[in-house]
Structure 1
Amino acid sequence: MNLIKHLLLTLILLCTLANARSFVYITDQVDIPMREDKTFGGNILRSLSSGSKLSILQATEDGWSQVKYENSTGWVISRYLSNNPPARVQLEKLRQRHNANQLLTTKQSKRNTELEKQIKTLKNKNIKLSMQISKSQAEKQHIEQIYKDALKLEYSNEKLTTKVLQLKAEIQLLESNSTATQDSSSRNWFIVGSLVLFFGIMIGFIFPNFVNRRRY
C-alpha cells in the first residue's frame, strides 16, 4: 500500500515537472532534512521546516526529489512534498489577508467618515452660498427697482421743470400784458382827463358869455 502511495506521489511530482510547475511545499506534518544525496546516512545539509517553499529540480521513481531552497540544493523524500501550501500556511495567509482586509476596511470606514464630514461641510457651505445668492438677487432686484424709481423720478422732475418753465413764461407774459394794460389804462385816463379839462375850460368860457347875452 505504501509502495502504491509512493508511486502515485512520484507520478504526481513527475507530472508537476512536465507541467512546468517549479515550486513545491513541505507538508504541515513534520520538518524534514535536506540531504546531499539520495541516502539516509548522515549527509544532512539542513532542516526544512513545514511550509517551506522549494524549487523542484527533478523527481525520481525511487521516491526522492531534488530541490533547491535559498542557496542550498539537495534531496528530500518525495512523500513529504505537496503541490499546495500546507493548511497551516494557507490559514496563516488567510489570517493575514483577513487582518489586511480588516485594516483596509477600518481605513475605508475612517475615509468614509471623513468624506461624510466633508460632504456635510460642503452641503452647509452650499446652503450658505444659496442663501447669499438669494440675498444678492434680492438686493439686486431692490437696487434695480430703486434705479427704475430714480429714472421715473428724474423723468417726473424733467416734466415738472418743463412745466415750471412754461408757467414762468406764462407769468412773464401775463406780467408783460398786465404792464402794457396798466400803461394803456393810464394813457386812457390821462387822455380822458385832458378832454374833461379841455371841455371844462371851454364851458367855463362859453357859458358865462351865453348867460350875459340872454340878460341883454
Structure 2
Amino acid sequence: MRKLILAACLLIPFASATADETAYVSDKLEAQLRSGPSLQNKIVRVLHSGVKLTVLEEDKEAGYTHVVSESGADGWILTRHITSQPLARAQLQDTTQKLDSLTQENKQLHAELDSLKKQIGDTNNAKEEAIAQMQRLNNETAQIRQASAGSVALLEERNQLLEKTAALENELENLRREKETLAEKDSQDWFMKGAGVLLGGILLGFILPKLSGGRRRGWDSF
C-alpha cells in the first residue's frame, strides 16, 4: 500500500492538468486510444486523423495525453499524435463549410435586400398614392367649405327675407285693420249724415205746414 502511494506521489509531478484544452489527432491515419499512458494498456478506441479531442491532462514522462473524443471516448493517446491546430484538410473542409455558409447567407441577404427594395418601392407607391388621396381630400374639403359658406349665405338671406316678409305681413295687417276702421267710421259718418238729413226733412215736414197755415190765416185776416 505504501509502495502504491509512493508511486502515485512520484507520478504527480509528471502529470500536467490541462483540462478543457482542445487538440486534434495529427495527420497520422490512425491513432490508438489506450486505457492508460503506456503500450501495456489495452486499446479502447482507434481514432482517425482530424478527430477533435478535449485534453484533460498530460503525462510528459510517459509521452501520453489524457483526452476525451467528440464521441465521448475516454483514454490516453501518444502526445506526438496530437496537435493543437486542426489539420490543413480539416481547416480546408471547415473553410469550405464556412464559405458555403457565407455564400448561402449572402444569397439570403440578397433575397432580403431585393425584398426590402420591393417593400420600399411599394411603400413609395403607397406614399405617393396617399399624398394624392390627401390632395383630393383637401380639394374636396375646400369645395365643401366653399359650398357650406354659400349655403350659410343663402340661409342668412332666406332668414332675412322671411323677416322682411313677416314685417310686410304685419304692416299689411295693420293697414287692413286701419282700412276697416276707416270704412266703419265712414259708414257711421254717412249714417249720421243721412240720419241728420232725414231728421231735418221730418222737422221741415212738420214746421213748413205750420208756417204755411199761419201765413194763410194772416193773409185771410187782411
TM-score (norm 1): 0.60
1:158 partner letter: E
The answer for the alignment partner of 2:6 in structure 1 is none
Q: Which moved more, 1:168-177 or 1:109-118?
A: 109-118
Higher relative contact order (CA 8 A, sep 6+): 1
> By how many angstroms is 1:95 displaced?
0.9
The answer for the alignment partner of 1:57 in structure 2 is 56
**Alpha-carbon contact 1:32-1:47 (below 8 Å) kept:** yes
Q: Which moved more, 1:185-194 or 1:175-184?
A: 185-194
1:181 partner letter: D
- Counterparts of 2:175 and 2:87, CA distance in 1: 119
Q: Summarize deviations over 1:74-109 as a string: whole Å, max 9, x none.
A: 414436412457531441343144134314413422
TM-score (norm 2): 0.59
1:92 partner letter: T
> By how many angstroms is 1:45 displaced?
3.0
- Counterparts of 1:79 and 1:45, CA distance in 2: 14
Mapping 1:12-161, distance limit 5 Å: 18=18, 20-26=19-25, 29=27, 31-36=29-34, 38-39=38-39, 45-50=45-50, 52-61=51-60, 63-69=63-69, 70-74=71-75, 75-78=77-80, 80-83=82-85, 86=88, 87-120=91-124, 122-124=126-128, 126-127=130-131, 130-131=134-135, 133-134=137-138, 135-136=140-141, 138-139=143-144, 142-143=147-148, 145-147=150-152, 149-161=154-166
Fraction of identical pairs, as percent: 11
2:127 partner letter: K
Q: Summarize deviations over 1:11-39 as a string: whole Å, max 9, x none.
A: xxx99x54x54222345x55442343655
- Counterparts of 1:91 and 1:132, CA distance in 2: 60
Q: Summarize deviations over 1:58-80 as a string: whole Å, max 9, x none.
A: 23336543322113234144364
**Alpha-carbon contact 2:65-2:79 (below 8 Å) kept:** yes
**Alpha-carbon contact 1:65-1:78 (below 8 Å) kept:** no
Residues 35/100 of structure 1: CA separation in 2 closer, same or farther (3 Å cut):
same
The answer for the alignment partner of 2:174 in structure 1 is 169
> By how many angstroms is 1:127 displaced?
3.1
2:74 partner letter: T
> By how many angstroms is 1:178 displaced?
3.0
Q: How many residues align?
A: 191
Q: Secondary structure at the match of 2:24?
A: strand
Structure 1 outlier segments of 4+, above 6 Å: 196-201
Residues 107/78 of structure 1: CA separation in 2 closer, same or farther (3 Å cut):
farther
Residues 136/43 of structure 1: CA separation in 2 closer, same or farther (3 Å cut):
same
